[in-house]
């Protein structure tokens, strides 16, 4: 029996996840679903996660990829101008990348020659979530520095780049602190005595727009 189903974004995502996403994360000993959850739940902006995800898929327009597409460009990394520019070189082996991630050697220990996706999987397993989030932000700033060098010929200094990444991430976390939950007194409504009235009033005020509103409800004893 042939089962016909309508197309939906949800079904398309399931197919893409099972055929494209899970094989990328399956290089690690941990569950691929667990690694995917860890990656996408990191407390960093979406553009940071998307950039690193494209890098793992080798979708970034690095010079090595541009040459594969028959574009006439130099192969050398624009930051160090020494080695061929690949995603693995930008985020791990470029001298500037090594200076920004040298502190990880003590936490990660020995990490053999791995592909970029294998190295990120390895980092996810070894680092705490907060440390891994900071690593993603530093790698994104590396990519941003690379683009600034290509398009604006702006040089970068590893220390200032590292400081900018730390301040930028701290500001992001501060701006995305969830508001505290204000407990509310929940009392069941009771009818007023015969011949009496009850008054229910509620209001709110927005300090940013300097606007507010209020509502009053009158009820007599005959209301159920």
Would residue 156 count as lying in a domain?
yes
4 vs 19, higher pLDDT:
19
Burial of 8 (0-12, 13-18, 19+ CB in 10 A): exposed
219 lies in some domain = no
Which pairs count as long-range contacts for 23-32, CB under 8 Å and 24+ apart, including other chains? 24/56, 24/57, 24/117, 25/117, 25/121, 27/115, 27/117, 27/118, 27/121, 28/118, 28/121, 28/122, 28/124, 28/125, 29/125, 30/121, 30/124, 30/125
Q: Report whether pLDDT(13) > 80.
A: no
- Domains contained in the chain, number: 1
Cβ–Cβ under 8 Å, residues 85 and 75: yes
Tokens 């029996």, located at residue: 1
In a domain, residue 221? The reply is no
What residues form DSSP beta bridges with 215?
202
143-184 pLDDT, tens digit each: 999 999 999 999 889 999 999 999 999 999 999 998 888 777
pLDDT at 1: 46
Across 20-33, average pLDDT: 52
Count of CB atoms situated within 10 Å of the CB of 132: 18
pLDDT tens per residue across span 86-137: 999 999 999 999 998 888 766 666 566 788 888 888 888 888 889 999 999 9
Residue 43 is assigned to a structural domain of this protein: yes
User: Is 32 inside a domain boundary?
Assistant: yes
d(Cα 68, Cα 61) in Å, to the nearest integer?
Answer: 10
* Arithmetic mean of pLDDT, 47-64: 92
Q: What is the pLDDT of residue 22?
A: 54
User: In what helix (H) or strand (E) does residue 120 lie, and over which residues does it extend?
Assistant: helix 116-126
Domain of residue 69 covers 10-170
Distance (Å) of CA 43 to CA 14, 26, 154: 24, 23, 29
Return the DSSP state at 11.
Answer: H
- Say if 109 falls within a structural domain: yes
Stated pTM of the model: 0.69
Residue 73 in any domain: the answer is yes
| pLDDT beyond 50 at 78 | yes
Whether residue 156 contacts residue 79, with contact meaning beta carbons closer than 8 Å, is answered with yes
Residue 213 lies in a domain: no
| Mean pLDDT (the chain, rounded) | 83
| The pLDDT of residue 5 | 65
Of the two residues 210 and 96, the one the predictor is more confident about is: 96
Could you tell me if 63 and 73 are in contact, meaning their C-beta atoms sit under 8 angstroms apart?
yes
């Amino acid at each position: 029996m042939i089962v016909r189903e309508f197309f939906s974004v949800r079904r398309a995502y399931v197919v893409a996840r099972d055929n494209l996403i899970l094989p990328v994360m399956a290089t690690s000993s941990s569950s691929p679903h667990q690694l995917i959850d860890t990656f996408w739940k990191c407390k960093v902006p979406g553009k940071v996660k998307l950039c690193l995800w494209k890098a793992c898929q080798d979708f970034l327009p690095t010079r090595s990829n541009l040459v594969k597409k028959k574009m006439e460009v130099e192969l050398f990394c624009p930051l160090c101008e020494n080695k061929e520019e690949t995603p693995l070189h930008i985020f791990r082996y470029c001298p500037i990348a090594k200076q920004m991630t040298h502190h990880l050697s003590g936490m990660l220990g020995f990490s053999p020659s791995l592909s970029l996706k294998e190295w990120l999987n390895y980092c996810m397993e070894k680092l705490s979530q907060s440390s891994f989030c900071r690593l993603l932000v530093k790698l994104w700033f590396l990519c941003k520095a690379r683009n600034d060098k290509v398009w604006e010929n702006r040089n970068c200094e590893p220390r200032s780049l590292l400081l900018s990444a730390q301040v930028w991430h701290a500001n992001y976390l501060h701006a995305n602190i969830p508001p505290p939950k204000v407990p509310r007194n929940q009392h069941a409504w009771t009818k007023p005595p015969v011949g009496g009235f009850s008054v229910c009033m509620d209001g709110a005020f927005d300090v940013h727009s300097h606007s507010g509103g209020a509502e009053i409800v009158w009820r007599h004893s005959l209301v159920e």
